[in-house]
Amino acid sequence: MPAFRSLHPFGTETPDADLRRLSDAGSADLQRAFYAHQVLAVRAQDLTAAQFLAFARRLGPPQPHVIDQFHHPEAADILLLSNVKVDGKPTGLQDAGSYFHTDYSYLPVPARATTLYSRVVPEVGGDTLFANQLAAYDDLPDAMKKRIEPLLAIHHYGNRHDLDEASRTAASPLNAQQKAKMPVITHRIARPHPVTGRKALYAVSGSSFGIEGMPDDEARDLLDELAAHATQARYQLRFRYGVGDVVVWDNAALLHSATLTDPKHARTLWRVTVLESGPRPVLT
């Protein structure tokens, strides 16, 4: 069993796991840590694309990102995140997810986990913020818990707080074909975690644009009130990367946001997102 250290105010990290040689028992240890702490960091790895993908597959079936121009050339399930340009051309998706959201909440079967593998760490910045939606739900007044219990939020691809496609804090722009693939769907706002059953506030910022059966302005006010509550500093973990770090987070339990990095400081990560469908993970 690898040694784990707590991150603050939640999350856990281990400096002594090697994801190239992960046994089934070692994978079960990491999964237990992941579901108990919502963010798991495995420090200082040296992985090929195939090894990184094999680790992500342990958590669920990968879903390639709709933005297919930045898929890894050896593995379409890996999305390249980068602010590096070569001959003026981007080598990856820049500024992806620079607002609080949860991955694939705009899909009918959303993301179970996202894992990032940090390849180039900027000299300054480049952290990822996480906000704990289990704690945010627990802290709601009983009257609010009762109010949101039956409610379904309406989701589609985008960031409801920033719709300007030229903005660094909007959702990454899609082309016409990619937009045509994106559905409008609903998810519960007070959503039981699909593995642990614990309720969390689900995707109250990011892709939630309305609430079924509620006038738009009332729905928007309620979502904004919940988002302001859910993203308070006391629910946030700021994760700082070292080269080779693999971080994996629980999308049913968290919101997360990239932080804007000065483009003069190179930052590159590989990303795989796995869906909630597929076999339930081993938790015993």
Place of tokens 């339990």: 253
Residue 97 touches ligand SIN, criterion: CB under 6 A: yes
Q: What angle do CA 229, 5, 31 make, to 5 degrees?
A: 75
User: Nearest 10 degrees: CA dihedral of 133, 135, 139, 140?
Assistant: 20
Shortest Cβ 258–ligand SIN spacing (Å): 3
Which residue's beta carbon is nearest to the bound ligand SIN? Answer: 97
Residue 100 token pair: 């609080």
Residue 140 CA from chain centroid, whole number: 23
* Least distance (Å) between residue 172 CB and ligand SIN: 9
- Residues of 143-165 as b/e, b for ≥16 C-beta within 10 angstroms? ebeeebeebbbbbbbbbbeeeee
Q: By rule CB under 6 A, what string of x and - marks binding of each residue 127-166 to ligand SIN? A: -x--------------------------------------
Choice from 81, 227, 253, 272 touching ligand SIN (CB under 6 A)? 81
SS3 77: strand
Binding-site member from 75, 96, 219, 274 for ligand SIN (CB under 6 A): 96
CB of 97 to ligand SIN, least distance (A): 2
CB of 280 to ligand SIN, least distance (A): 24
Backbone angles phi, psi at 125, to 5 degrees: 75, -155
What residues between 243 and 272 interact with ligand SIN by CB under 6 A? 256, 258, 269, 271
| Residues contributing to the site for ligand SIN (CB under 6 A) | 81, 96-97, 114, 128, 256, 258, 269, 271
